[in-house]
């Protein structure tokens, strides 16, 4: 843990610049072309792949190519909102294609300190959980954090167009 400086935060606001730890495994996955055949999806913003230790019938991860550590680093901005929306679109279309028979899908993020890898990743599930007790890894703990549904996060970072009571 270290305190982020104002300069870093400023850099973050102008395009998530800098600061990826060299050992970040998800950065390697996102940029390593030799493993690109294991990717389910790749475009200029995000890549998707199977969770190495799946917790559900289908369990995919969608990550931004850019190193963004956690949901705490996302801001109420058009840039971050459209990135997360895009991650959700990619996850949805993959699951709808690969698990059309699934009755329930679920999409969300671990919030620190409950996240396993410090590179933003959207968990995409086609349920049921396998084995079923795995669901406990993805519980929302309300104000304590835990797992946050993508819809909730999108509400949190949706850019505000109108300011009804800005004071």
Enumerate the active-site residues. 123
Please tell me whether residue 24 binds Zn ion under the rule CB under 5 A: yes
Beta bridge partners of 37: none
The answer to whether the beta carbons of residues 144 and 113 sit under 8 Å apart is: no
Q: Which of 108, 100, 145 is nearest to 126 (CA)?
A: 100
By CB under 5 A, what part of segment 87-116 binds Zn ion?
Answer: 110
In the chain the first and final C-alpha atoms are separated, in Å, by 34
How many CB atoms sit inside 10 A of residue 89's CB? Answer: 12
Q: Return the number of the residue (30 or 99) whose C-beta is nearest Zn ion.
A: 30
By CB under 5 A, what part of segment 56-75 binds Zn ion?
Answer: 67
**Which DSSP symbol is given to 111?**
P
Could you say which of 16, 59, 106, 119 contacts Zn ion (CB under 5 A)?
119
Please tell me whether residue 16 binds Zn ion under the rule CB under 5 A: no
- Least separation in angstroms between CB 59 and Zn ion: 10
- In the complex, which residues of this chain contact Zn ion (CB under 5 A)? 20, 24, 26-27, 67, 110, 119
């Amino acid at each position: 843990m270290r305190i982020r400086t104002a300069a870093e935060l400023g850099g973050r606001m102008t395009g998530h610049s800098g600061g990826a730890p060299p050992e970040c495994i998800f950065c390697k996955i996102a940029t390593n072309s030799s493993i690109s055949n294991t990717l389910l999806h790749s475009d200029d913003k995000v890549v998707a792949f199977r969770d190495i230790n799946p917790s559900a019938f289908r369990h995919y991860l969608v990550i931004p190519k850019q190193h963004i550590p956690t949901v705490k680093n996302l801001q109420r901005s058009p840039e971050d909102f459209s990135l997360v929306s895009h991650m959700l679109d990619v996850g949805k279309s993959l699951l709808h294609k690969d698990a059309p028979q699934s009755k329930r899908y679920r999409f969300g993020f671990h919030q620190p300190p409950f996240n396993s890898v410090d590179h933003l990743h959207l968990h995409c599930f086609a349920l049921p959980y396998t084995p079923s007790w795995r669901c406990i890894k993805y519980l929302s703990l309300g104000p304590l954090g835990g797992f946050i549904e993508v819809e909730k996060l999108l509400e949190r970072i949706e850019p505000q167009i109108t300011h009804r009571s800005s004071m």
